Every structure is written in C-alpha cells, then in structure tokens.
C-alpha cells in the first residue's frame, strides 16, 4: 500500500548543495519520513560516482533522523512503488525550473496517478545555487563554502581540485 506520508526527494545531487539540504530539512518538518533518492543513470555518468553522492548526502544529513538516503535506477514511479512512498517532492528555484518540472510531474502523474508531486520553493538565499555552479566554481579553485554544507565542504573541494 502506497503511504502518502512517506515522501521521496529524487535528484542527481552531483553534489548535494545548501539548497538541497535546506529543502530536505524543511521537508522533515512536514513529513514523518523523507527518502532522498539519487538517480543512478548508467547513460549519464556525472562528476561524483553515485556511491560518493550517497555518502556525501548521508554525511550532510547525519543530524536528521527522519531522513534516509538511497539510490535508484529506472523510472522514479517504479522506485516510489518499491519503497511504498506516495509523494515526490521537488524544489523550484525560479520560473526557469518550472517548465521541466511541470512536464516531469505530468508525465509521472500520467503513468502513476496515485503518486503526487509536491513542490517547495527554494529559500531565496539559495536560489542561485546549483550542483553545476558548485562544480564550475570549485573546479576552477573558487570558494564554495557558502554553496555546500560545511560537513562535506572538504570532501567536495578536494575532489574538485583533484580533477583540475
Ligand atoms: O536533480 P535532477 O537531475 O533535476 O533530477 C531529475 C530526476 C532524477 C528527478 C529525474 O530525471 C528522474 O526522476 N529520472 C528518473 C527517470 C524517470 O522516472 N523519468 C520519467 C519522468 S520524465
């Protein structure tokens, strides 16, 4: 039975940012259980290996007992059914996010109407942050301390510096 109280926050999290963490923390104020699920897409490798993204998320969310970190392959709605979760949450930073998010929510609704997608507005102080901005700035040796959680700043900076 799909549990409406259980929510999944899916994404690439390559790597997790302060914007993601803000949304995860706020989701724990609304839902009793929050599963953060990293897409493992064999067709799109990304910068951080999926296992490392999961490890970074777990470290950044260590203070949040309601949060579980996982990864998934394939369709999000299939994963939702596997973990019996009824709600997908996604963050909206700006109008530019809307079109793709709207499309994704509608596709997911079409194939699995029992699953709801809910959107949370990114807190304004994080609206400009994205994983790609973190990779770009950090990759050129720039300061990313205000972009990523302090607990994983060293891990991310070191990995980005190594790749330079
Ligand atoms: O952080 P991202 O890259 O914006 O996350 C996108 C994600 C992982 C939520 C989305 O690509 C996804 O759910 N992929 C799984 C495949 C799927 O279910 N596709 C159908 C919806 S269009």
Give the Cβ contact number of residue 6 at 10 Å.
18
Has residue 55 been placed in a domain?
A: yes
Cα(18) to ligand 1 centroid in Å equals 20
Give a yes or no: residue 141 inside a domain. Answer: no
Whether 33 sits among the annotated catalytic residues: the reply is: no
Say if 154 falls within a structural domain: no
CA dist 147 and 11 (Å) reads: 17
The span from the CA of 41 to the CA of 22, in Å, is 25
**22 neighbors 126 (Cβ within 8 angstroms):** yes
Catalytic residue among 12, 53, 112, 131: 131
pLDDT single digits (tens) 60-96: 999 999 999 999 999 999 999 999 999 999 999 988 8
Asked if the bond preceding 74 is cis, omega within 30° of 0, the reply is no
Residue 161 falls in the annotated catalytic set: no
Between 44 and 15, residue with greater pLDDT: 15
Q: Whose CA is nearest to atom 13 of ligand 1?
A: 76
Range of the domain at 15: 3-127
Active site residue 20: yes
Give how many domains the chain has, as a whole number.
Answer: 1
C-alpha 31/C-alpha 4 separation (Å) is 9
Please indicate, yes or no, if residue 158 is contained in any of the structural domains: no
Q: Which of these is catalytic: 12, 53, 93, 157?
A: 93
> Residue 50 belongs to a domain with what CATH number?
3.40.50.620
Q: Classify residue 50: in a domain, yes or no.
A: yes
pLDDT at 1 over 80: no
The mean pLDDT of 90-108, rounded to a whole number, is: 95
């Amino acid at each position: 039975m799909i549990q409406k109280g259980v929510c999944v926050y899916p994404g690439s999290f390559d790597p997790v940012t302060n914007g993601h963490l803000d949304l995860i923390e706020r989701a724990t104020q609304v839902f009793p259980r929050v599963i953060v699920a990293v897409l493992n897409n064999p067709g799109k490798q990304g910068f951080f290996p999926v296992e490392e993204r999961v490890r970074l998320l777990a470290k950044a969310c260590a203070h949040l007992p309601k949060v579980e970190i996982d990864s998934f392959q394939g369709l999000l709605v299939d994963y939702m059914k596997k973990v019996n979760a009824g709600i997908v949450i996604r963050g909206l930073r700006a109008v530019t996010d809307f079109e793709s998010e709207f499309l994704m929510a509608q596709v997911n609704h079409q194939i699995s109407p029992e699953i709801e997608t809910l959107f949370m507005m990114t807190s304004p102080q994080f609206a400009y942050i994205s994983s790609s901005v973190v990779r770009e700035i950090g990759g050129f040796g720039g300061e990313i301390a205000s972009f990523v959680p302090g607990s994983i700043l060293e891990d991310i900076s070191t990995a980005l510096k190594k790749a330079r």
